[in-house]
Structure 1
């Protein structure tokens, strides 16, 4: 009898442990930002313990500033990836925006008008990509790869090999700011990023449009059958992303007060990296803007921490690549468990 009782207790304990493990796994699978957040915390702890300069107010503020432009690009990328698409041209659109802002002002255009023109062009380019994907039913990868080539060529033709310094305070205003609690430097660009991410989070989680975006990414045909205007939703995402890229261009001029046609050459890949590491599925329908923030910070923390530890930049790329592969593998696991 005692043996049976002990066996029953052992089974109960085993079942309880198994249930707890399953619940923990399910929690991570249904909250894709939890894993990246844990990775970010571990990275901060490791670099704080192994270097004497990482965990300082100035360095942490610098890390956030360095991640700002990529994080904003990744915000627009997140919206597109959630629909099952991808945008390889986002950084090229942003760089063209910086050149429009700076050159127009240098040539005498009123700064506010220069900003409006730049925002209009970035939105238009996003809309062109969205239109080709939506109404011609072309693959997003091919469309945005073609747009990347076209926009890079337009940028070089427009710049003629020149770059333009920021000569007006309005263009560089997002790099200015003050100090929180007298120590932590907070720029206007940081504040703008917080506002944009908050608006995107609200739109995706609290509005019908956000539910339509997720539904489109999960199953476009099912979304159409439930009455969702699939084409309009997909087009709106690319258009909004174009506007977000314009904000990234404005932030870039605040961070580096010079419009260079050769800047941010890997910005598109960096933004995709932040999105994937942040837990957003490349297959669409799963992810969050909070995860994207965490993903962008992970990339910035890795580069800062490994640099301060004296690790070669090539190993930084290796570490980032491993994280991307791990994030995609985890996403595949999540999709299998959800079936």
Structure 2
């Protein structure tokens, strides 16, 4: 017969193990710790206006990180995420400024972004080329195309529809943009796909072991293609959110988006080795980056030091993932 102490300690121990094993718990604790530290060092940090700014500043990278999460879950990586998003802003802006219906212009821009995902997914799934090399090549191609399309310069995009995602609404004193709402809806939708559908279970299976997934009948090639296509479609939506955030199409914009999106995913607890992690962790990771940069800015810390601290966080997150992976 079990002793009372064993009975009383067994359940909490089990719950504790489950919590520790949940990838998003660690990032959540880090986010709360940063929040406490910055609120104690600067009373402006917890001001409603400042919290609204943090959320708004997270929109672009937070949305791009959704697609990056899908790809990293399959043990891949996307180095063209920023370039694809900028392609969407340039095309939508050019078409709208040329007299095209803005809705059609944005739709064609999202379609072009999705086509880039079709190209990447086809090369990776069909020819089994490494995702790193394929997306690096697409990055170079799109970067050159952007300079040709825009003639090397930025231009203003003043259309109301293209900038609609930057409009704000007030919720009990908390100001949010429509872009923030769209980002959160995308997180909810893709979370449902990953956790409540067969497609999502296959994504995790392929990330864990693609050969084993193939042997049990999962169409690995078609699954990888669908992941890259969906990710690129989300990058196209991010282009619309970017135009709402900054009504300007610049071929040199979002140069650090590749690193920032990967940072959000990794800090959020998704394994670079694939098959482990989730979108809730990515959202927390994006908020961690936003909170860290905002808090350090309020403290008067130089942006170079902010990049240094963010880089250290990424290395620590990858090291912890490697250690936990080895133990499993």
TM-score range, shorter chain: over 0.9
Give the distance between the partners of 1:253 and 1:36, measured in 2 at CA. 29
User: For residue 165 of structure 1, what is the aligned residue in structure 2?
Assistant: 156
Alignment of 1:101-112 (within 5 A): 101-112=92-103
User: For residue 174 of structure 1, what is the aligned residue in structure 2?
Assistant: 165
User: For residue 72 of structure 1, what is the aligned residue in structure 2?
Assistant: 63
Give the distance between the partners of 2:230 and 2:81, measured in 1 at CA. 12
Q: Secondary structure at the match of 1:178?
A: strand
- Match status 1:239 vs 2:229: yes
In the comparison of the two structures, how many residue pairs are matched? Answer: 326
Q: Please list the CA deviations of residues 238-261 of structure 1 after superposition, one character each: whole Å capped at 9, or x if unmatched.
A: 000010000110000000010111
- Match status 1:224 vs 2:214: yes
Alignment of 1:294-309 (within 5 A): 294-309=284-299
Q: Secondary structure at the match of 2:295?
A: helix
- Assess if the C-alpha contact under 8 Å between 1:83 and 1:234 holds in 2: yes
Give the distance between the partners of 1:139 and 1:35, measured in 2 at CA. 30
User: For residue 86 of structure 1, what is the aligned residue in structure 2?
Assistant: 77
**Structure 2 residue runs without a partner (length 5+):** none
Q: Secondary structure at the match of 1:262?
A: coil
Q: Please list the CA deviations of residues 99-124 of structure 1 after superposition, one character each: whole Å capped at 9, or x if unmatched.
A: 00111100111111101110110000
Out of 258, 271, 280, the residue aligned to residue 290 of structure 1 is 280
Out of 324, 332, 337, the residue aligned to residue 314 of structure 2 is 324
- Change over 3 Å in CA distance of 1:186–1:203 after alignment to 2: same
Give the distance between the partners of 2:147 and 2:87, measured in 1 at CA. 9
Alignment of 1:144-159 (within 5 A): 144-159=135-150
- Change over 3 Å in CA distance of 1:317–1:291 after alignment to 2: same
Alignment of 1:1-339 (within 5 A): 26-181=17-172, 183-338=173-328
Q: Please list the CA deviations of residues 227-247 of structure 1 after superposition, one character each: whole Å capped at 9, or x if unmatched.
A: 111111100000000100001
Q: CA RMSD in A?
A: 2.0
- Change over 3 Å in CA distance of 1:22–1:140 after alignment to 2: farther
- Assess if the C-alpha contact under 8 Å between 1:280 and 1:286 holds in 2: yes
**Structure 1 residue runs without a partner (length 5+):** 1-11
Bigger Rg over Cα: 1
- TM-score, normalised via structure 2 length: 0.95
- Deviation (angstroms), 1:337: 2.2
- Deviation (angstroms), 1:30: 2.5
Q: Secondary structure at the match of 2:238?
A: helix
User: For residue 8 of structure 1, what is the aligned residue in structure 2?
Assistant: none
- Deviation (angstroms), 1:52: 2.1
Name whichever of 28-37 and 141-150 sits farther off: 28-37
Q: Please list the CA deviations of residues 260-302 of structure 1 after superposition, one character each: whole Å capped at 9, or x if unmatched.
A: 1111110011000000000000010000000000000000100
Q: Secondary structure at the match of 2:58?
A: helix
User: For residue 5 of structure 1, what is the aligned residue in structure 2?
Assistant: none
- Deviation (angstroms), 1:333: 1.9
Q: Secondary structure at the match of 2:51?
A: helix
Q: Secondary structure at the match of 1:304?
A: helix
Give the distance between the partners of 2:89 and 2:305, measured in 1 at CA. 31
Q: Please list the CA deviations of residues 131-184 of structure 1 after superposition, one character each: whole Å capped at 9, or x if unmatched.
A: 111001000001101111111001011111222212211000000021001x11
